[in-house]
Structure 1
Amino acid sequence: MPDAVVIGSGPNGLVAANLLADAGWQVTVLEAQDEPGGAVRSDRAVHPEYVSDTFSAFYPLAAASPVIAGLGLEKYGLRWSNAPHVLAHPLPDGRCAVLDRDREVTAANLEGFAPGDGQTWRELCAGWDRLGGPVLDALFTPFPPVRSAVALAARVRGAGGLRLVRELLLPVRRLGEEKFAGEGGRLLLAGNALHADLAPEAAGSGGFGWLMSMLGQSQGFPVPVGGAGVLTEALVARLRDRGGSVHCGRRVTEVVVRGGRALGVRTADGESVRAKDAVLADVTAPQLYGELLAPEHLPSRVHEDLRRFAWDFATFKVDWALNGTVPWTAPEAAGAGTVHLADGVDALTRFAAQLATGQAPDRPFLLFGQMTTADPTRSPAGTESAWAYTHVPHEIRGDAGDGGLTGRWDKGEQEMMADRMEEQVERYAPGFRSRIRARRILAPPTLQAADANLHGGAINGGTAALHQQLVFRPVPGTGRPETPVRGLYLASASAHPGGGVHGAPGANAARAAVRARGVLNTAAVTAQRVLARRR
């Protein structure tokens, strides 16, 4: 009988398992799919000569995460690689906003959009120099982050106080307009905000856009050399090196509860796996509370709150094997690992409005990844392993384009949406389609079938909007990995601090389990001493 059972082998589940193993626990990880990794996997299914990241690809949060850094995964084969430029946002007129790891390069680029914008960027970077450490400490520790919050409050007072807090709570459109005279800086902030499901007019999107932009500036958007799956392989190898085990093709269907405590799990083949101390669930909150736990084990308010749980937008992704590099009109885009494709901030607002009203976007905002540019091992020299994803509504009520998309996502609709995305790339890179050697389409149902945590194609475990963050994540009054069932911990992106490959939800859950066992052991020793004195 292991000390702990971890449900799911995504990055959070594997981080949790590793930290428990470091504490001396015997850990068993059960994974429903035939291979570990969750949304951190890679393959050669698009073309045998090309490595494609199946889901996530760029990992600024992993590079910044003290959780990931503390595991020493370099000993298990993990190496990071960066593209020459972090990010580019080309415009139809040939101009291109560029984010580079050298802040002077970024500043010089933005100065070309409007005089003074380069200095504004330097000031944003200086603010990050003062606040970045405490911000990341607060992000990667359990809620409430008492120590890091105290340190952050002291730094905030010295960096502008309430004026700075106001800026971070602004919609990213407003923040960009207040900070930058030209379009370049506004595009970098707004495009990065849309890495989550935050519209340019959403409260708090300015803070998220600032965070992602500053991570790109300070850390880059690195990728694992050899493919995203190398990160998973390193986590699995480290766990096994410490006596842990990972079992694939073992779908958990129930968390077994007796007397208000989690005793283990039951799998789809009817087998029961007991756990001495804890069950950690790297699954979405709706799956844990709505499927794996019987209703009688939860307060009624949890079920009521879950009915209001908000998913982030659905995702539609296309992978390509290109027989040449992407023929960008703006030459700066050729050196960027990530390229944002939208005509401007107004186009981002238009895209977000279409999603909000249930319309399939006609000119989708694309996050485009050039993986060979970021890591030359991904495909033969002179070619490109590329991908792009966009968001679509979970329920499509109409098509802003002329194709009549309904959200059935049958083969015809998948091909139509993929063609629409390629047409968007063609607007910035004429001749792109002539270089496609092979492509793979991952529609929302395909994503969910490959990883149940990607519910309906949602990739962040729930919306990143303010009403479902901090103490409201996953439901009001929580914000921590503990659940109403003793010994059961939520270890997925549905828990604080949310989506992204950084391992914090898994680490928070593991530390809570270790702390709880310590408290129980202390209580048991105290009880034994009391009994001994009475004798």
Structure 2
Amino acid sequence: MTLTCDAVVVGAGPNGLVAAIALADAGWDVVLVEEQDEVGGAVRSAEVTAPGFVTDLFSAFYPLAAASPVIRDLDLGAHGLTWVRAPDPVAHALPDGRGAVLRSRAEDTAAGLEAHAAGDGDAWLRLVQQWQRIRDPLLDALFTPLPPVRPALRLARTAHVAGTLDLARLALSSVRRFGHEEFRSEEARVLFTGNAMHSDLPPDGAGSALFGWLLVMLGQDVGFPVPQGGAGRLAEALRRRAESCGVQVLCGVRAEAVEVVSGQARGVRLADGRRVRARRAVVADVSAPALYERLLADEVLPDRFRADLRRFQWDPATIKVDWALERPVPWVSPEVRGAGTVHLGADDDGLVGVAADLAVDRVPERPFVLFGQMTTADPTRSPVGTESAWAYSHLPREGARDPEVVARQVERMEQEVERVAPGFGSSVLARHVQSPASLEADDTNLSRGALNGGTAGLHQQLVFRPTRGLGRPETPVPGLFLASASAHPGGGVHGACGWNAAVVALAQHGPLGPARRALARTAWARVLRPDR
């Protein structure tokens, strides 16, 4: 049996769903194929600990989604999505019992930091004012296909020369250096460092300052919101939005291969024997290795591209633990109690050590732990008086599949929580462990639990993401577009990777389509020209 459409989208994670919506909104006939039995990719939820306790299985807090112009313009509220927020967006529980907190109002955050060190409050408000001035053009530049000419010009006009240079320096700085330049107190510095650790960049590594600063400023701006009722509600809203504009969604069927005819991507062969023929485009919301090494035949890709792909670097493995708690977490620091997201396990210096361990494939003895208090953020997640909680930590990719390594790391993670919340263990009603292997089994894009579709290191960003090339959704195969987090701008639930792929696919079939397609072919030919 063969289905025929204008475009087939492989993978129904948020990027695949956004791509399908954008194409369908433009009048294309779209089929969306998903291997799992439900849509969402790493945006799903279920009751896996105890009845009545909703757990977000992968991602949970969505500052990027709340700020993303892509997600905002889809009007998901009309399709059942409601955002809710914890009293405080994010906090850091230091090992000695101190706490640092990002509050909902910038003035309250500044007052708390000023209490730790004179001048830190003013420094905070100055950064917030800078963010408010450049926010919109910066986000447009981040979420636009390369090169982002118009947003970049708007950003330069808004920031002026000095501000543009400051932003460029920030993009190249380490978060550790940034923190010491801007603040006197460890409490202020660790808020940025902990948020930078959401990526795989080390605190003393180039580029980590931008990641930490961006997440902190988004937290102060839009908070760390969650979908009411569970992360799956976001995926469900995206599916309803897609189906409302005619997208045909096929779940529970695996894409076996992208079919290439006369050098052009023409459709997808499914594991159940069906074929989906695409008149215009194949859009892949799968990791770069999955697309180029599994879905495409070797002879389709130029030798130089396959050689470059061997240098692709994943981000570290992840282990996640979910708990049903009979009462709220007994934090030592009162500042931490109202935060939806809590970082813990190390102070500012200790976070450097954690990153160093991961860099040399050594399991950290004192792991950095990212902890979520889901009922604090959304009271519907568990019965009254209880808490639905989870935490994740990183492991080196080597050894991440070893059950003994996983079990020992679960113990270490719970020990770190117990240090800053004595009595935590006695409140556990049920526990559920998501190992790197199980995370990958539930979403094949999460190789050993890697969260960002490949390292966020500068060597794999922009025109180097996922390999040396154009830094755009186009691939060396005409008609095939990469729409996953392996493409620019990378990880996070913002929908930009899928949106960019759809925008470029549409442009190649617009009035200037032949010229755009020829330009893309010429650019790839120059990039992949064999060395002489």
| Fold equivalence (TM over 0.5) | yes
The aligned counterpart of 1:104 is: 107
> Is 2:456 the partner of 1:487?
no
Deviation at 1:517, TM superposition (A): 1.4
The aligned counterpart of 2:450 is: 458
For 1:409, the aligned partner's letter is D
TM-aligned CA distance change 1:149 to 1:521, over 3 Å: closer
Q: 2:173 aligns with which of 170, 181, 188?
A: 170
> Is 2:251 the partner of 1:259?
no
The aligned counterpart of 2:413 is: 421
Query: CA contact under 8 A between 2:401 and 2:437: conserved in structure 1?
Result: no
The aligned counterpart of 1:12 is: 15
Query: CA contact under 8 A between 1:127 and 1:159: conserved in structure 2?
Result: no
Query: CA contact under 8 A between 2:34 and 2:252: conserved in structure 1?
Result: yes
Deviation at 1:465, TM superposition (A): 1.1
CA distance, structure 2, for counterparts of residue 161 and residue 287 of structure 1: 37
TM-aligned CA distance change 1:230 to 1:161, over 3 Å: closer
Query: CA contact under 8 A between 1:172 and 1:205: conserved in structure 2?
Result: yes
CA distance, structure 2, for counterparts of residue 10 and residue 436 of structure 1: 31
Deviation at 1:168, TM superposition (A): 3.5
SS in 2 for 1:417: helix
The alignment covers a number of residue pairs equal to 512
CA distance, structure 2, for counterparts of residue 136 and residue 190 of structure 1: 21
For 1:424, the aligned partner's letter is E
Query: CA contact under 8 A between 1:414 and 1:441: conserved in structure 2?
Result: no
CA distance, structure 2, for counterparts of residue 245 and residue 160 of structure 1: 46
Deviation at 1:409, TM superposition (A): 2.8
For 2:56, the aligned partner's letter is D
Deviates more, 1:366-375 or 1:293-302: 293-302
CA distance, structure 1, for counterparts of residue 272 and residue 167 of structure 2: 54
Deviation at 1:313, TM superposition (A): 0.9
Query: CA contact under 8 A between 1:64 and 1:219: conserved in structure 2?
Result: yes
CA distance, structure 2, for counterparts of residue 344 and residue 36 of structure 1: 38
Deviation at 1:519, TM superposition (A): 4.0
SS in 2 for 1:30: strand
CA distance, structure 2, for counterparts of residue 3 and residue 305 of structure 1: 31
> Is 2:273 the partner of 1:270?
yes
Query: CA contact under 8 A between 2:11 and 2:35: conserved in structure 1?
Result: yes
SS in 2 for 1:517: coil
For 1:222, the aligned partner's letter is P
CA distance, structure 2, for counterparts of residue 164 and residue 453 of structure 1: 32
The aligned counterpart of 1:532 is: none
Query: CA contact under 8 A between 2:453 and 2:490: conserved in structure 1?
Result: yes
The aligned counterpart of 2:524 is: none
CA distance, structure 1, for counterparts of residue 302 and residue 7 of structure 2: 24
Q: 2:461 aligns with which of 464, 469, 473?
A: 469
- Residues 135-188 of structure 1: CA deviation (Å, up to 9, x unaligned): 101011101100011111223325544244223321110110111111111101
Query: CA contact under 8 A between 2:508 and 2:514: conserved in structure 1?
Result: no
Deviates more, 1:250-259 or 1:85-94: 85-94
Q: Structure 1: state its 5+ residue gaps.
A: 397-406, 524-535
Q: 2:304 aligns with which of 294, 301, 315?
A: 301
The aligned counterpart of 1:21 is: 24
CA distance, structure 2, for counterparts of residue 236 and residue 93 of structure 1: 45
Query: CA contact under 8 A between 2:106 and 2:125: conserved in structure 1?
Result: yes
Query: CA contact under 8 A between 1:173 and 1:206: conserved in structure 2?
Result: yes
The aligned counterpart of 2:529 is: none
CA distance, structure 1, for counterparts of residue 29 and residue 313 of structure 2: 35
Deviation at 1:521, TM superposition (A): 7.1
- Residues 211-251 of structure 1: CA deviation (Å, up to 9, x unaligned): 11100010100000000000010111111111111111110
Equivalent pairs: percent with the same residue? 60
The aligned counterpart of 2:528 is: none
The aligned counterpart of 1:350 is: 353
> Is 2:496 the partner of 1:504?
yes
TM-aligned CA distance change 1:521 to 1:255, over 3 Å: same
TM-score by length of 2: 0.94
CA distance, structure 1, for counterparts of residue 369 and residue 334 of structure 2: 18
Deviates more, 1:227-236 or 1:241-250: 241-250
CA distance, structure 2, for counterparts of residue 489 and residue 79 of structure 1: 31
**Superposition pairs for residues 142-157 of structure 1, below 5 Å?**
142-157=145-160
Q: 2:426 aligns with which of 434, 437, 441?
A: 434
SS in 1 for 2:104: coil
SS in 2 for 1:197: coil
> Is 2:204 the partner of 1:201?
yes
> Is 2:217 the partner of 1:224?
no
Deviation at 1:478, TM superposition (A): 2.1
Query: CA contact under 8 A between 1:409 and 1:443: conserved in structure 2?
Result: no
CA distance, structure 2, for counterparts of residue 91 and residue 175 of structure 1: 19
- Residues 299-320 of structure 1: CA deviation (Å, up to 9, x unaligned): 1111111111111111110011
Query: CA contact under 8 A between 2:401 and 2:448: conserved in structure 1?
Result: no
Deviates more, 1:90-99 or 1:464-473: 90-99
The aligned counterpart of 1:399 is: none
SS in 2 for 1:6: strand
Q: 1:138 aligns with which of 138, 141, 146?
A: 141
- Residues 289-345 of structure 1: CA deviation (Å, up to 9, x unaligned): 111111121111111111111111111100111110000000111100000003311
CA distance, structure 2, for counterparts of residue 207 and residue 130 of structure 1: 16
TM-aligned CA distance change 1:92 to 1:210, over 3 Å: same
TM-aligned CA distance change 1:161 to 1:276, over 3 Å: closer
Q: 2:188 aligns with which of 185, 190, 193?
A: 185
Query: CA contact under 8 A between 2:346 and 2:366: conserved in structure 1?
Result: no
TM-aligned CA distance change 1:522 to 1:316, over 3 Å: closer
CA distance, structure 2, for counterparts of residue 167 and residue 446 of structure 1: 37
CA distance, structure 1, for counterparts of residue 473 and residue 164 of structure 2: 31
Aligned residues: CA RMSD: 1.3
Deviates more, 1:412-421 or 1:358-367: 412-421
Deviation at 1:522, TM superposition (A): 7.6
The aligned counterpart of 2:238 is: 235
**Superposition pairs for residues 34-49 of structure 1, below 5 Å?**
34-49=37-52
TM-score by length of 1: 0.94
Deviation at 1:520, TM superposition (A): 7.2
CA distance, structure 2, for counterparts of residue 501 and residue 420 of structure 1: 28
CA distance, structure 2, for counterparts of residue 74 and residue 259 of structure 1: 44
The aligned counterpart of 2:523 is: none
**Superposition pairs for residues 366-405 of structure 1, below 5 Å?**
366-396=369-399
Query: CA contact under 8 A between 1:12 and 1:492: conserved in structure 2?
Result: yes
The aligned counterpart of 1:527 is: none
